[in-house]
Amino acid sequence: MMINNKTAPVLTVSELSIVTNTGATLVDKLGYQLQQGQTLAIVGESGSGKSIASLALLGLLPKSLNVTGDVELASSAEQSTMLALPIANHDSQDKVLRAIRGQRIGMIFQEPMTALNPLHTVAKQIAESLRLRGVAKKQWRMQTIKLLNDVNITDPEDKLNRYPHELSGGQRQRVMIAMALAQQPDILIADEPTTALDVTLQHEILALLNDLKREHNMAMILISHDLNLVRRYSDEVIVMRQGQTIEHGTTAAVFANPKADYTRTLMRQDFGQALDIQQRGSDKPAIVLQVKQLQVQFPVQKNLFGTTKRWFDAVTDIDMSLASGQALGIIGESGSGKTTIALALSQLLSNQAKVSGQIIVNGQDMSLLSNSELRKFRAQIQMVFQDPFASINPRMTVMQIIEEGLLVQGVAKAARIQAVIDSLETVHLPSEFVHRYPHELSGGQRQRVALARALVMQPRLMILDEPTSALDSTTQVTVVNLLREIQQQRQISYVFISHDLKVVRALCQHIMVLKDGMCVESGATEAVFKYPQHPYAQCLLQAGVNS
């Protein structure tokens, strides 16, 4: 798309710097101009400064940070004059910024499950944005349905009274976009809007944002760590590293001729190959996991007495077998049942769902264990979650986080300390980290701590639910290499759930493709990737290869 550079910019950022109270520079003299109708992508790994540079525009940074530089926003009157925005963190300037937030500059946050209010319905949350814009109350329902239609949510009337936890990841992200659009901003900041979504949904969401941007004549700042994704959806790109602007130019020029080695590294993103596990002689590897006819149902309608009248089939008739030291990748779009299977295998669904079928781990039928037996048996089956910051206690030190399972098992203190240090060494973290808290670690380091917490129990089976999706591309490569190393050294079996097909291909010997809670295709990873049989598998894998 060609942008007319002769028109006045809608936003100008000059010499934007952000420094901590200890003197560390988080953003160093960032500058750019944003034209109406243009998409500017800001790309970089975790800690590069891309997100805080955009939060500074809205005055959403903590007061402990020193923000300097100039930000000018076009006046709403045909953009003929520019308004200087107060970016320094002072309460006296908050009133000016409140008039800008949402109405002039809207923001879509990275994780909709934490950005949306879990206690309010979809209708109430979008109505709040409409109220701020001054829309009359009698028009809220009609306008909300129109907004949900605009973001391609099917059957919007049905979604009005739903809460965030009752929506899929893709639906939650669309509700966030609808909330941002409700105030009709001139500029939309999309902060990693597709990180937690599967590959087909990633393209759907970015294509949707592109269409809405054109339709509403907005400008967009797209923040991402995925260079290959922004290639298709941006006009200009800024590559950041440790607060510095490494490269800045039109997207076409940067991709055709990247000048910085760091940009080329981000583009390559080489995950390597899955381990080639050969069977020796006639010895067959032990079967660690055997699943037969797994079915999971959730209650969707209850009568006045609390008895369930209607059930939703989340997972239907799933069979799987996994040998020692091998990895099974489970892929599928948002809402296909991937995480439900992970929670069922880990026995974490408790009373909220009806689970049937057989789950056998190391020859033990899990359903036959009493609660006390299950607590002891859990050491053999460990789970690593998607978001390392949400899944570990922020008030605990690394030592306390990793040793928690050993405490439950009654392991003596000296043995616990040694086990924690050995586990940290396995995930390539120094022993001094035992005294640190989660907020003192990077995203990649936090995920290593989550891995160490699982490994310290010496499990035979690990269930990894999107363990790399919240990480930047270079950290993803490091974590995948680490998982492969652990798989080889310890002969641990993985059930690996991911929407990132490149990661699955690099780690898993076998693959299962889910759609609507059912397995539509399974087999050896390379065979399924090269010759997918089911139309849905063909579509999903094609989107992943081209992403």
> In this structure, are 351 and 231 located in the same domain?
no
Distance (Å, rounded) from C-alpha 57 to C-alpha 363? Answer: 57
> In this structure, are 511 and 470 located in the same domain?
yes
Distance (Å, rounded) from C-alpha 506 to C-alpha 496? Answer: 11
Tokens of 338: 């991937």
Distance (Å, rounded) from C-alpha 236 to C-alpha 233? Answer: 9
Tokens of 136: 């009359």
> In this structure, are 234 and 322 located in the same domain?
no
DSSP state of 5: T
- Residue 445 · residue 398 · CB < 8 Å: no
What average pLDDT does the segment 490-516 reach?
92
- The model's pLDDT over 145-167, given as tens digits with 9 standing for 90+, comes to 999 988 888 889 888 988 988 88
> In this structure, are 469 and 526 located in the same domain?
yes
> In this structure, are 299 and 382 located in the same domain?
yes
Report yes or no on 28 lying in a domain: yes
- The model's pLDDT over 398-441, given as tens digits with 9 standing for 90+, comes to 999 999 999 988 899 999 999 999 999 999 899 999 999 988 88
- The model's pLDDT over 296-350, given as tens digits with 9 standing for 90+, comes to 998 877 777 667 777 888 899 999 999 999 999 999 887 788 989 999 998 888 6
Query: pLDDT class for 517, splitting at 50, 70, 90?
Result: very high
Question: In which residue are the tokens 């381990």 written?
Answer: 275
Question: In which residue are the tokens 């994704």 written?
Answer: 229
- Whether the pLDDT of residue 200 is over 60: the answer is yes
What is the domain count for the chain? 2
Report yes or no on 124 lying in a domain: no
Query: What 3-state class would DSSP assign to 152?
Result: coil
Report yes or no on 332 lying in a domain: yes
What average pLDDT does the segment 235-254 reach?
94
Q: Which of 205, 235, 268 is the last residue of a domain?
A: 268
pTM of the model: 0.75
As separate numbers, helices (DSSP H) first and strands (DSSP E) second, the chain gives 21, 20
- Whether the pLDDT of residue 87 is over 80: the answer is no
Report yes or no on 173 lying in a domain: no
Task: For residue 442, give its domain range.
Answer: 287-546
23: left (phi over 0), alpha (psi -120 to 50) or beta: left
Q: What is the CATH number of the domain that holds 361?
A: 3.40.50.300
CA dihedral angle for residue 277, residue 282, residue 283, residue 285, rounded to 10 degrees? 40
> In this structure, are 414 and 451 located in the same domain?
yes
Report yes or no on 519 lying in a domain: yes
Report yes or no on 111 lying in a domain: no
Question: In which residue are the tokens 């952000």 written?
Answer: 18
- Candidates 48, 18, 192, 220; CA nearest to 114 is 192
Instruction: Say which residue, 286 or 201, is predicted with more confidence.
Output: 286
Distance (Å, rounded) from C-alpha 290 to C-alpha 315? Answer: 16
- Residue 405 · residue 457 · CB < 8 Å: yes
Q: Which of 220, 236, 268 is the last residue of a domain?
A: 268
Percentage of the chain modeled with pLDDT above 90? 43
pLDDT of residue 486: 92
What does the mean pLDDT of the chain come to?
86
Query: pLDDT class for 2, splitting at 50, 70, 90?
Result: very low
pLDDT of residue 544: 62
Instruction: Say which residue, 473 or 119, is predicted with more confidence.
Output: 119
